[in-house]
């Protein structure tokens, strides 16, 4: 299913799309709230490969299997291993912002976050506050003009 016929030879799409390879064998050290399950480490490996190959992807699975934690693990991996300080922008439904904040507090307490929500004036104030330049933002809905953040989820 992942093979594409090009001329007379088969081309493995995954191998072509993921030419830059980096093995992820353990969770980042700053991810301290628990131990990732094997399938979550594989999900992290896949997201790191997407990152390395400048590809986009959608992390989708059943509820309760740890998509939030896998996303947090990617951010901690980028911070720790790649030394990519961010900031990162995670866009989530308003109804899940409290859960995301709690998961960051549990799994990555050293990562500073800001919930970027409220009316336009409140959001502008948060974005312009120099104290938040090293923080990572959560936003409800559309990010608008967010010039200094890397979007990861």
Q: Which helix (H) or strand (E) holds 137?
A: strand 136-140
Query: What pTM was computed for the model?
Result: 0.76
Considering only residues 63 and 103, tell me which one the structure prediction assigns the higher pLDDT: 103
Domain span including residue 144? 3-151
> Helix, strand or coil for residue 136?
strand
pLDDT on residue 73: 96
Q: Say how far residue 127 (Cα) sits from the centre of its chain.
A: 20
Domain with 63 in it: what CATH number?
3.40.50.10810
Is residue 150 within 8 A of residue 85, CB to CB? The reply is: no
Place of tokens 């890397």: 150
pLDDT in tens, 78-100: 999 989 887 888 888 888 888 99
Q: Which helix (H) or strand (E) holds 24?
A: none
Residue for token digits 């992390």?
59
Positive or negative: CA dihedral 116, 103, 35, 37: negative
Q: Total structural domains in the chain? A: 1
Question: How much is the pLDDT for 146?
Answer: 47
For 43-52, how does the pLDDT look when each residue is reduced to its tens digit (9 = 90+)? Answer: 999 999 999 9
């Amino acid at each position: 299913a992942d093979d594409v016929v090009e001329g007379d030879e088969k081309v493995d799409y995954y191998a072509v799309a993921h030419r830059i390879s980096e093995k992820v064998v353990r969770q980042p050290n700053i991810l301290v709230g628990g131990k990732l399950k094997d399938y979550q480490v594989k999900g992290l490996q896949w997201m790191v490969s997407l990152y390395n190959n400048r590809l986009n992807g959608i992390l989708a699975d059943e509820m309760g299997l740890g998509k939030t934690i896998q996303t947090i693990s990617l951010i901690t991996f980028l911070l720790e291993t790649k030394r990519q300080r961010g900031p990162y922008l995670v866009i989530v439904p308003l109804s899940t912002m409290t859960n995301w904040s709690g998961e960051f507090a549990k799994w990555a307490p050293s990562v500073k976050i800001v919930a970027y929500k409220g009316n336009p004036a409140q959001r502008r104030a948060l974005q312009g506050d120099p104290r938040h330049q090293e923080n990572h933002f959560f936003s409800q809905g559309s990010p608008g003009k967010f010039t200094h953040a890397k979007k990861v989820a």
